[in-house]
Amino acid sequence: MIYTAHYASPLGGITLASDGMALAGLYFDGERDFPDLSTARKKDLPVFGEAMRWLDLYFAGREPDFSPALNPTGTAFQQAVWAILRTIPYGETTTYGAIAHRLEEDTGKRMSAQAVGGAVGRNPISILIPCHRVIGADGSLTGYAGGLDKKEYLLALEGVIE
């Protein structure tokens, strides 16, 4: 069973999804990859309270010093990319190519920045798994499921851009 809760952010509504124990999704309302949650039930869960407290701190311009339990569903490759995303420090960015290089070092297998981009784009837990911190090799702000305006806002909030 999937459970949901709603959070009102400065960027608009956010839907939180949980498997009952951990956060499984965080989606901007109306984003291009918003999943079908029509069978989910609204429920007040401790993980939702933790996620909302984390988001309150984050949107107040502070780096939270904790994380709610996360359980994103994806392939082994996606999980590896998302694990790297979680290591990008608050207020810093990296590139798709740098993530591909790190995966190559970890696995000994050749990786492409495009494959990394595909996995980053399928991140089901926006903001907490900070895919917004990944930019193009030329410093450009590239795709973001919630929209580039939201990516720009998040990076400005963290002091990366003005």
The per-residue pLDDT for range 125-151, each reduced to its tens digit, is 999 999 999 999 998 898 887 889 999
Note the pLDDT of residue 161: 85
Active site residue 30: no
Q: CATH number for the domain including 107?
A: 1.10.10.10
- Tokens representing 72 are 């994103």
| Position 88, amino acid | I
93 and 145 both lie in a single domain = yes
Domains of the chain: total: 2
80 and 142 both lie in a single domain = yes
Note the pLDDT of residue 113: 92
43 and 83 both lie in a single domain = no
State the residue range of the domain holding 17.
3-59
CA end-to-end span of the chain, whole Å? 42
* Nearest C-alpha neighbor of 127 from the set 143, 149, 148, 150: 150
One-letter-per-residue 3-state SS of the chain: CCEEEEEEECCEEEEEEECCCCEEEEEECCCCCCCCCCCCEECCCHHHHHHHHHHHHHHCCCCCCCCCCECCCCCHHHHHHHHHHCCCCCCCCEEHHHHHHHHHHHHCCCCCHHHHHHHHHCCCECCCCCHHHEECCCCCCCCCCCCHHHHHHHHHHCCCCC
Any domain includes 97: yes
85 and 38 both lie in a single domain = no
Question: Percentage of the chain surpassing pLDDT 90?
Answer: 81
Any domain includes 110: yes
Q: CATH number for the domain including 33?
A: 3.30.160
- Tokens representing 156 are 């400005």
95 and 148 both lie in a single domain = yes
Length, in residues, of the chain: 162
39 and 84 both lie in a single domain = no
**Distance between CA atoms of 96 and 136, rounded to whole angstroms?**
7
Q: pLDDT digits over 39-91, tens only?
A: 889 999 999 999 999 999 999 999 999 999 999 999 999 999 999 999 999 99
Choice among 80, 113, 131, 155 that is catalytic: 131
47 and 106 both lie in a single domain = no
